[in-house]
């Protein structure tokens, strides 16, 4: 049915041209040094165990899932230690190969990122921004100022690293678009009121939820991989969000902001469910207008979601 007839909604697509984005790659030496250092640090089991205790605790579900999937023989720390050392050796070669592949497919990646964004955004020619592929243990994809940093190390665990890069870039470049107008207050500022922080968390929930939707990422897949029942996780996420909306204590809000976005967690899920429900209900044409509105005023999505919730008993409520 796509032959010959121009569908009316195709005129709605924005032209997002990412020619001004530059792509940079770390050198092969940096990758080799990274894994060489990692292996040297891991030589001593007792020291490794000491350093990894918190990490092992945090990843308990993920480890249980790996045992279930047959990736690990048992959940004992020593087994994980050996597994990680083997992985580090393998990863070095994988990372070098992935880096080469991405470098050779930059045009395709840039065009596809622009296409995904254009489906949802109006015409946009962003200014210069830099995409840097390097070893970055702190985060897999992150944006700071005009620089998006991509961790090559995490890409080595992906079945389809190029697809992951397209999704991750669309996500981060969407944040750049949101930020162009909507300058969030500096989180380090001390004169900030609790109300500001609360609004910031709401804005961040909407921003992340939209970034996930626009980029084509799947939070279901992300959480199932870590051994979670996604439907249960959605319900739990809304529970935490309702508690958050009823919370006015500054210190508690700080904790929520620190915790609920980690690892694409609860508030990503809430933001994404809200955005998806509004899109389903209102359709693409309206939704594109709502995204533009949300750039100036992100909470607008919560208002729309409340109305939709009132008519649809199957949706999770955001009010207590």
* Residues that bind Zn ion in the complex, under the rule CB under 5 A: 208, 211
- Closest contact distance (angstroms) between CB of 211 and Zn ion is 5
Q: Shortest distance, CB of residue 176 to Zn ion, whole angstroms?
A: 11
Closer by beta carbon to Zn ion, 18 or else 95: 18
Rounded to a whole number of angstroms, the minimum distance from the CB of residue 29 to Zn ion is: 30
Q: Are 299 and 273 in contact (CB under 8 A)?
A: no
User: Residue 85 Cβ, how far from Zn ion at the closest point, in Å?
Assistant: 32
Q: Return the number of the residue (48 or 267) whose C-beta is nearest Zn ion.
A: 267
Smallest separation (angstroms) from Zn ion to the CB of 122:
20
Q: Going by DSSP bridges, is the β-strand pair 147-151/141-144 parallel, antiparallel, or unpaired?
A: antiparallel
Q: What is the secondary structure of 137-174 as a DSSP string?
A: TT-SEEEETTEEEEEHHHHTT-S-HHHHHHHHHHHHHH
The alpha-helical segments, DSSP class H, found in the chain are 28-42, 45-58, 60-68, 77-104, 106-120, 152-155, 161-181, 194-215, 219-224, 230-245, 250-259, 266-296, 300-311
Residue among 292, 300, 17 at smallest CA distance from 181: 292
> By C-beta, is 161 or 209 nearer to Zn ion?
209
Closest to Zn ion by CB, 112 or 208: 208
Q: Which residues of 187-200 are buried (b: 16+ CB within 10 A; e: fewer)?
A: eeeeeeeeeebbeb
How many CB atoms within 10 Å of residue 291? 24
Residue 112 burial (10 A CB sphere; 0-12, 13-18, 19+):
buried
Looking at the Cβ atoms of 206 and 279, the one nearer to Zn ion is: 206
CB of 290 to Zn ion, least distance (A): 19
Q: Which of 117, 211 has the CB closer to Zn ion?
A: 211
């Amino acid at each position: 049915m796509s032959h010959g007839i121009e569908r009316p909604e195709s005129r709605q697509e924005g032209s997002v041209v990412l020619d001004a984005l530059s792509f940079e790659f770390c050198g092969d030496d940096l990758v080799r040094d990274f894994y060489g250092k990692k292996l040297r640090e891991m030589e001593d089991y007792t020291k490794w165990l000491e350093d990894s205790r918190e990490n092992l605790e945090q990843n308990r579900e993920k480890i249980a899932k790996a045992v279930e999937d047959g990736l690990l023989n048992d959940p004992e720390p020593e087994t994980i230690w050996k597994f990680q050392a083997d992985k580090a050796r393998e990863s070095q070669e994988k990372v070098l190969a992935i880096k080469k592949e991405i470098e050779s497919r930059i045009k395709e990646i840039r065009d596809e990122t622009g296409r995904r964004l254009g489906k949802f955004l109006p015409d946009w020619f962003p200014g210069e921004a830099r995409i840097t592929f390097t070893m970055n243990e702190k985060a897999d994809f992150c944006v700071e100022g005009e620089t998006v940093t991509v961790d090559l190390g995490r890409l080595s665990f992906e079945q389809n690293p190029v697809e992951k890069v397209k999704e991750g870039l669309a996500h981060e470049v969407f944040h750049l678009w949101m930020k162009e107008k909507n300058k969030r207050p500096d989180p380090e500022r001390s004169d900030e009121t609790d109300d500001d922080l609360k609004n910031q968390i709401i804005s961040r929930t909407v921003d992340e939820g939209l970034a996930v939707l626009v980029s084509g990422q799947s939070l279901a897949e992300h959480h199932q991989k870590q051994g979670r029942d996604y439907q249960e996780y959605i319900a739990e996420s809304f529970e935490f969000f309702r508690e958050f909306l009823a919370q006015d204590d500054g210190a508690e809000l700080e904790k929520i902001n620190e915790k609920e976005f980690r690892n694409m967690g609860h508030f990503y899920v809430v933001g994404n469910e809200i955005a998806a429900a509004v899109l389903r209900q209102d359709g693409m044409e309206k939704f594109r207008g709502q995204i533009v509105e949300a750039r100036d005023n992100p909470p607008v999505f919560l208002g729309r979601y409340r109305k939709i919730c009132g008519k649809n008993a199957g949706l999770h409520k955001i009010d207590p």
